[in-house]
Homo-oligomer: A and B are copies of this chain.
């Protein structure tokens, strides 16, 4: 049996059942589980499936961008980043928080006994804050975009324009020294720019996979970042670049 042949059969079963088991494939193909694991690893690297313990599942192409699907990814890391990020907060501050799973983790990590004013266009962030009695929550309405989990558009921009904040927790889609902070969506980037304009400092918390990557729409230059919260394992060279542009680095 050819390697290519196995790959095709794996993809077929994945399309039919939505999942495959490593052991099952091994006995079906008459090869060792190690070989199957290698196959799965390769296919995962090509983005054709998502590897999980015991096998693999279909890498939902449509829902990949959707917030609900993403949030299962790198939960631990994001929780650690969130914990460090909330350490930057001072009681009484006012914040902008936009969308993204990292920002939702930050919202959940905000201590219940801290008095804050928080404006957000993310329903996920808003939900996380509804039962915080000391948080004055301002919802930035507008047209809701399911893929982003946030509100965007003219209404959102108008609402942002009327507010100011001490800190802006910017959910970054891509972060690169040269290209700055970038987003995948034009309307989303516009809202982020408005928030950045009306806040005194920008805080960005990112997992390693966002570092040194860029998306089409520019939000702000790398020099606009006041605080950068990263994992301990982040590449030091990249961090040094951001630091030289004025960003304060915080390790989670």
Interface residues of A, Cβ cutoff 8 Å to B: 2-5, 7, 11, 19, 21, 42, 45-48, 52-55, 57, 59-61, 64-65, 68, 71-72, 75, 79, 104-105, 108, 121, 123-124, 126-128, 130-131, 133, 136-144, 146, 149, 151, 155-156, 158-159, 162
The smallest beta-carbon distance between A141 and chain B, in angstroms, is: 3
Chain B neighbourhood of A137, CB < 8 A: 143-144, 146
Chain B neighbourhood of A143, CB < 8 A: 136-138
Tell whether A72 pairs with B60 under 8 Å between CB atoms, given A126-B123, A142-B138. Answer: no
Chain B neighbourhood of A128, CB < 8 A: 47
Chain B neighbourhood of A138, CB < 8 A: 141-144, 155
A47 near B61 (CB under 8 angstroms)? no
Tell whether A53 pairs with B2 under 8 Å between CB atoms, given A45-B79, A46-B71. Answer: yes
The smallest beta-carbon distance between A177 and chain B, in angstroms, is: 30
- A143 vs B54: C-alpha distance in the bound complex, in angstroms? 37
B139 near A141 (CB under 8 angstroms)? yes
- A105 vs B139: C-alpha distance in the bound complex, in angstroms? 22
A4 near B52 (CB under 8 angstroms)? yes
- A24 vs B179: C-alpha distance in the bound complex, in angstroms? 51
Among candidates B46, B54, B57, residue contacting A72 with C-beta atoms closer than 8 Å: B46
A141 near B151 (CB under 8 angstroms)? yes
Tell whether A71 pairs with B57 under 8 Å between CB atoms, given A131-B146, A143-B136, A155-B162. Answer: no
The smallest beta-carbon distance between A192 and chain B, in angstroms, is: 16
The smallest beta-carbon distance between A46 and chain B, in angstroms, is: 5
